[in-house]
Amino acid sequence: MNSDSLIIRIEEILDKPLWPILLFAMAFATFLTFIAVCVRFVMGESGFWVEELCRFSFMCMVFVGAGPIVRKKEHIRMELFANMLKGKWAFFHSALINLVLCITCIFIFLWGIKTANISYILEETSDSFVFKIWYVHAMIACGMLLHAVYALLDGLRNVLQLINVKKVN
């Protein structure tokens, strides 16, 4: 098994539980939004906790889904400069971008752990006083850790491609 297939295998193992989680979060948010609209139409007001659950579900989709999107190369990228690069420079540029992305995600992960800990100690709750806020901070931290892992794997793939380009030349 070569290094590239090992990276692909690791990404597939990470992807397997994430896509169903994201699908559930989207279906859950859609269902809750429909319920909130119906309740607001019938009763003239909505449950505050329903809107919070929709917001938390959307946040789960964003932060947990960021990593797999890196793998598919469907995240927002500035490609004007990258498209001008060819061969080893393109792989070097991509590896550098993934390194910066990985480091940034690690900093956000550490911040998320710190804020989750503080929220847990302070027993912070959401505006509706139903949900513990540390769950949200922990979800952000977990999502950023996953994002860092995906960026690291993509960066390793770029480094391996860079090494292979050098061997060919």
From CA 121, how far away is CA 126, in angstroms rounded? 15
Nearest to 150 by CA among 63, 67, 61, 66: 67
- What is residue 169's predicted lDDT score, i.e. its pLDDT? 54
Which of 70, 60, 91 has its CA nearest to residue 161? Answer: 91
Instruction: Reply yes or no on whether the pLDDT at 2 is more than 80.
Output: no
Per-residue confidence at 80, pLDDT binned at 50, 70, 90?
A: low
Q: In this predicted model, which residue has the larger pLDDT, 80 or 28?
A: 28
Return the structure tokens found at 21: 């989680």
Q: Give the CA distances from residue 39 to residues 30, 32, 34, 51, 52, in Å, rounded to whole numbers and listed in that order.
A: 14, 10, 9, 12, 15
| Confidence (pTM) | 0.80
